[in-house]
């Protein structure tokens, strides 16, 4: 943030020759244009968060997949690292004029007091300079717009390279060596059943029949 003075473009009330309504229009348009530039810088950072989240999700998804990891996956990780660096560069604090009325209190305390037309004129010039500084932040090959474009490209390459890696892995699956199973023959010893049958010893006591009694 910057509060640098903009007195180089200011003119004294005696030299200011303009209609109050014209100065009001100049102030309103300058302030509106400055608001647009401020919102643009804020949106660059907000969109950077969304794009980096997309790159992070893609890298995480393909990283935990079961597909073989080859050179294309390594390239996707390099692109993700580039995206992270660009996001940090976009979020890095930059000089940004936010307060063009920093010296109004000092101006109003002087005698004779400043007219409202002169005050609007000075504030409008402050907004114009803030717009010029914001354009420098956005434009140029090192500006926020260029960094954001490269960020989007790097995020796209993360998805493309990781997707190509998964596709090639599905076409050429990794060769899994056959499972080597060693079965130790079961050692079974069957001892023949030894059965000893002792012949039944049957003792039959002869039947004692008393013939004499029978004859009688």
SS3 content of the chain, % helix, strand, coil (to 5): 60, 0, 40
The pLDDT of residue 87: 96
Query: What's 140's DSSP letter?
Result: S
Q: pLDDT tens for residues 37-92?
A: 999 999 999 999 999 999 999 888 888 777 788 889 899 999 999 999 999 999 99
Record the pTM. 0.67
Q: For the chain, give every domain's residue range.
A: 7-171
Q: What mean pLDDT do residues 143-165 have?
A: 94
Q: Nearest-CA neighbor of 130 among 24, 30, 18?
A: 30
pLDDT band at 33 (very low <50, low <70, confident <90, very high): very high
| Greater model confidence, 146 or 118 | 146
The first and second tokens of residue 32, run together, are: 């509106």
Please report, rounded to a whole number, the percentage of residues in the chain having pLDDT higher than 70: 71
Q: Rounded CA gap, 119 and 109, in Å?
A: 13
């Amino acid at each position: 943030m910057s509060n640098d003075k903009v007195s180089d473009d200011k003119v004294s009330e005696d030299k200011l020759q303009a209609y109050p309504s014209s100065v009001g229009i100049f102030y309103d348009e300058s302030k509106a244009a400055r608001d647009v530039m401020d919102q643009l810088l804020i949106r660059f950072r907000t969109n950077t968060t969304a794009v980096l989240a997309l790159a992070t999700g893609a890298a995480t998804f393909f990283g935990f997949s079961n597909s073989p990891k080859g050179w294309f996956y390594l390239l996707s990780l390099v692109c993700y690292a580039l995206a992270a660096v660009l996001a940090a560069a976009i979020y890095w604090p930059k000089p940004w004029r936010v307060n063009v009325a920093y010296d109004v209190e000092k101006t109003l305390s002087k005698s004779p007091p400043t007219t409202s037309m002169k005050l609007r004129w000075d504030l409008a010039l402050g907004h114009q300079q803030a717009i010029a500084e914001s354009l420098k932040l956005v434009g140029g090959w090192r500006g926020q717009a260029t960094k954001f474009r490269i960020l989007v490209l790097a995020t796209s390459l993360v998805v493309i390279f990781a997707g190509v890696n998964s596709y090639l892995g599905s076409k050429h699956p990794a060769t899994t060596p056959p499972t080597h199973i060693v079965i130790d023959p079961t050692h079974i010893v069957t001892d023949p059943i030894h059965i000893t049958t002792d012949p039944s010893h049957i003792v039959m006591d002869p039947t004692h029949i008393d013939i004499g009694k029978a004859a009688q």
